[in-house]
Amino acid sequence: MSGIGLDVDREALFAIEQMNKAYARCLDDDRLEEWPDFFLDDARYLIQSRENRDAGLHGYILYFENRAMMRDRVKSLRIANYYNLHTDRHLIANVDIVGESEGVYDARANYAVIQTDAEGHSELFSAGEYVDRIEFRDGVPKFRERLVLLDTSNIVGLLAVPL
Amino acid sequence: MTETASSAGRIGSRSNSGGLVWPAEGWSRVPFELFCDPEIHALEDERLFRGPHWSYVGLEIELPEAGDYTTCYVGATPVVLVRDEGGVLRGFVNRCAHRGAEVVRKPRGNARGFTCIYHNWSYDRAGQVTGVPWEKGRGGVGGYDASFDKSRHRMQPLRVASWAGVVFGTFSDDAPPLEDYLGPAIRERLSAVFARPMMLTGYQRHTIRANWKLLYENSRDFYHAPQLHKFFGAFGIVQPDQAARAEMWHEGTHCLLTIYQDPGAPKPRIRLEEPRVAAFRTALPDNIAISIVGIFPNCLFTLIGSAFSIRQFRPKAPDRFEVHYTYFTYADDPECLREHLFQNNQFGPAGYVAMEDAEVVEKLQARIALGAEKGASLVAMDGTDTTPDRVDHMVSEANLRAMWKGYARFMGFAPPKGGTAKPVAERPDR
Ligand SMILES: [Fe+2]
């Protein structure tokens, strides 16, 4: 029965599920300043289309390889950039641990982000998968890497707020 | 569209030919109809994308081997670009010569030939029919009659030509030679940038719910850059008074925008914690920080530091187009790839200095779509004249006016009557 993951590390999975819920709430509540805290200092946050991934190409829409770059993103969104007025709703499902080695967990999750514009219209903005590497610090899971793998490789409008 | 009594009062009223008469104020006014009208949209496909112009269709580095192919669009027309067994690049319309079905189904790949799934007509790499099932009948019945000659059937060819590894295509026999079409300044810039080996780093698709010309115009709009894009200013990266110039070609519709390094830029109050995102180590022996090259009608190069990209415009409707990005950088210096990954955060649909453009043109489109026939945009910074070949500072919209004048000419629209537009100076000899 291990093929369907019944032997999963339940404690770790619970912690990772809770982290994903907190991550979604953080972004949906527009508490962007707290978003880098889900990551280790030298963690990578990447957004890449499945099309590029499958072709073995970099093609990152965003490429951050430390927490400073994440803080820069948030600062720029706050003080410099104009983007579509909207609210996000992250729906994260199928959170699972698919591997573990020396305390680094490989985790996956599906996501969908519904955006609602300033006039109240909601649309599916992005669908895809989180491909994560996670480590625990004092019992708290932190991202070593979060790769947002876009099924929605054709971005409609623009992508300002992290997925 | 037929002329009606009410159309006489419109800003850009129609002639009987289905064209559009430019506002009398001249090239400093751009009628909103140009961005909304389905007939103008259809006419653009005929006169621009299928007319005597060259459209960007790919980079040679995407097709290194025989049989490598990519697909894209020339205006509304889906095309395939292939390298044949002799190494020659071939282009054809991705539409079966039999019933019009899609033949090449994957965006890119490698193939010996192509087969339409509908009735299994097969094609060689140049799009020529090579096989027709049941051509001579089956079991002694049916089949095509003796007059049918499959060698006379093929997918519609696209003429292709390349400069410095950049591939263009045209459906028209009247397009000038590609070298003349690009002009000396763009030729030189592309040659300089592509003098070293390049590597493909990825693709990006982007849908913008606006008319394609709004972004094409935006890319040469000096005026908006420091006003709208606050990223550079907020982090002290580029100052608005920095030296810049615009050089035009092809009746003002191409534009090579050059912005120079500014060593004397004031120190910013706020810094990026990770300066590599906007560190422009110019990879060339000149002090050019940014080149933006608009090649009419369908592409824009952004050549900045080590983060190179080309955007192919794919109009879908008057109020919707797609931008297909191809990213590339130098292959002979691993540091260039590192820089490219950092710097590319500035560009594309999530880019620090790009996201505002999509936001602005989408919201602009939504406003002008309401009563488009009543309005026109004002392009009168630095006078009302058009400067046919260059502008030497950033405080000008002359390069936009030059573009609209060329666009109107290529579309066959009558020039403004009367008004205040001054005659355009002849292009000086080069
Ligand atoms: Fe812009």
The full DSSP string for A123-162 is EEEEEEEEEEEEEEETTEEEEEEEEEEES--EEES---S-
CA A15 – CA A8 distance, rounded (Å): 12
Q: Checking DSSP bridges between strand A104-117 and strand A122-137, what pairing results, if any?
A: antiparallel
Tell me whether residues B356 and A155 touch, CB distance under 8 A.
no
**How many CB pairs below 8 A link A and B?**
115
Q: How far is the CA of B220 from the centre of ligand 1 (A)?
A: 8
Q: Checking DSSP bridges between strand A154-156 and strand B198-208, what pairing results, if any?
A: parallel
Tell me whether residues A58 and B228 touch, CB distance under 8 A.
no
From chain A, the residues in CB contact with B274 under 8 A are 66, 68-69, 72
A14 CB-near residues (< 8 Å, 6+ apart): none
Per this entry, what is the length of chain A?
Answer: 163
Q: How far is the CA of B358 from the centre of ligand 1 (A)?
A: 8
How close A46 comes to chain B (CA, Å)?
11
- Cα separations in angstroms, B269 against B227, B272, B351, B371: 18, 10, 22, 44
Q: Is B202 on the interface with A (CB under 8 A)?
A: yes
CA B190 – CA A109 distance, rounded (Å): 43
Radius of gyration over every alpha carbon of chain A, rounded to an integer in angstroms? 16
Q: Is B170 left (phi over 0), alpha (psi -120 to 50) or beta?
A: beta
User: Comparing C-alpha atoms, which of B142, B146, B93, B101 is closest to residue B120?
Assistant: B101
Q: How far is the CA of B354 from the centre of ligand 1 (A)?
A: 6
Sign of the four-CA dihedral B218, B224, B230, B235:
positive
pLDDT at B13: 47
Residues lining ligand 1 (ion), CB within 5 A?
B 357
Q: Is B424 on the interface with A (CB under 8 A)?
A: no
B106 CB-near residues (< 8 Å, 6+ apart): B71
pLDDT at B7: 38
Tell me whether residues B350 and A47 touch, CB distance under 8 A.
yes
Instruction: Choose the closest CB to B350 out of A55, A57, A62.
Output: A62
- Cα separations in angstroms, B152 against A147, B98, B129, B130, B157: 51, 12, 8, 10, 13
How close B128 comes to chain A (CA, Å)?
28
Domain definitions of chain A by residue range = 10-150
pLDDT tens digits in sequence order for chain B, 430 residues long: 333 333 333 444 454 445 687 898 999 999 999 999 999 999 999 999 999 999 999 999 999 999 999 999 999 999 999 999 999 999 999 999 999 999 999 999 999 999 999 999 999 999 999 999 999 999 999 999 999 999 999 999 999 999 999 999 999 999 999 999 999 999 999 999 999 999 999 999 999 999 999 999 999 998 998 899 999 888 877 554 568 899 999 999 999 998 877 666 556 667 899 988 887 666 566 777 788 999 999 999 998 888 899 999 999 999 999 999 999 999 999 999 999 999 999 999 999 999 999 999 999 999 998 776 678 999 999 988 887 689 988 889 999 999 999 999 999 998 887 544 444 444 444 3
User: Comparing C-alpha atoms, which of A64, A157, A76, A73 is closest to residue B229?
Assistant: A76
Q: What is the pTM of this model?
A: 0.93
Tell me whether residues B230 and A81 touch, CB distance under 8 A.
yes
pLDDT at B384: 87
From chain B, the residues in CB contact with A55 under 8 A are 108, 202-203
Q: Which CATH superfamily does the domain covering B196-411 fall into?
A: Naphthalene 1,2-dioxygenase Alpha Subunit; Chain A, domain 1 (3.90.380.10)
Question: What's the CATH number for B55-161?
Answer: 2.102.10.10
Residues 45 through 64 of chain B touching chain A, CB cutoff 8 Å: none
CA A85 – CA A92 distance, rounded (Å): 22
- Tokens coding B372: 């488009």
Provide the b/e sequence for B35-62 (b: ≥16 CB within 10 Å).
bbbeebbebbeebbbbbebbbbbbbbbb
Rounded to the nearest 5°, which phi and psi values hold at B258?
A: -125, 125
User: Comparing C-alpha atoms, which of B146, B154, B43, B40 is closest to residue B93?
Assistant: B154
Give the residue range(s) of CATH 3.90.380.10 domains in chain B: 196-411
From chain A, the residues in CB contact with B362 under 8 A are 84, 157
Instruction: Choose the closest CB to A60 out of B107, B208, B341.
Output: B341
- In SS3 terms, chain B reads as CCCCHHHHHCCCCCCCCCCCCCCCCCCCEEEHHHHCCHHHHHHHHHHHHCCCCCEEEEEHHHCCCCCEEEEEEECCEEEEEEECCCCCEEEEECCCCCCCCCCCCCCEEECCCEECCCCCCEECCCCEEEECCCCCCECCECCCCCCCCHHHCECCEEEEEEECCEEEEECCCCCCCHHHHHCHHHHHHHHHHCCCCEEEEEEEEEEECCCHHHHHHHCCCCCHHHHHCHHHHHCCCCCCCCCEEEEEECCCCEEEEEEECCCCCCCCCCCCCCHHHHCCCCCCCCCEEEEEEEECCCEEEEEECCEEEEEEEEEEECCEEEEEEEEEEECCCHHHHHHHHHHHHHCCCCCCCCHHHHHHHHHHHHHHCCCHHHCEEECCCCCCCCCCCEECCCCCCHHHHHHHHHHHHHHCCCCCCCCCCCCCCCCCCC
Give the number of other CB atoms < 10 A from CB of residue B383.
Answer: 15
- Tokens coding A117: 């514009």
Q: How far is the CA of B60 from the centre of ligand 1 (A)?
A: 28
- Cα separations in angstroms, B1 against A69, B7, B39, B48, B316: 53, 11, 8, 20, 21
Q: Which burial class, exposed, middle or buried, applies to A103 when counting CB atoms under 10 A from its CB (0-12, 13-18, 19+)?
A: exposed
CA B382 – CA B242 distance, rounded (Å): 17
Tell me whether residues A63 and B209 touch, CB distance under 8 A.
no
Radius of gyration over every alpha carbon of chain B, rounded to an integer in angstroms? 23
Within chain A, where are the H helices? 10-28, 50-54, 67-79
Please name the fold of domain A10-150: Nuclear Transport Factor 2; Chain: A, (3.10.450)
- Tokens coding B19: 């064209």
So what's the ipTM on this one? 0.96
Give the residue range(s) of CATH 2.102.10.10 domains in chain B: 55-161
pLDDT tens digits in sequence order for chain A, 163 residues long: 458 889 999 999 999 999 999 999 999 999 999 999 999 999 999 999 999 999 999 999 999 999 999 999 999 999 999 999 999 999 999 999 999 999 999 999 999 999 999 999 999 999 999 999 999 999 999 999 999 999 999 999 999 999 9
Q: How far is the CA of A9 from the centre of ligand 1 (A)?
A: 49
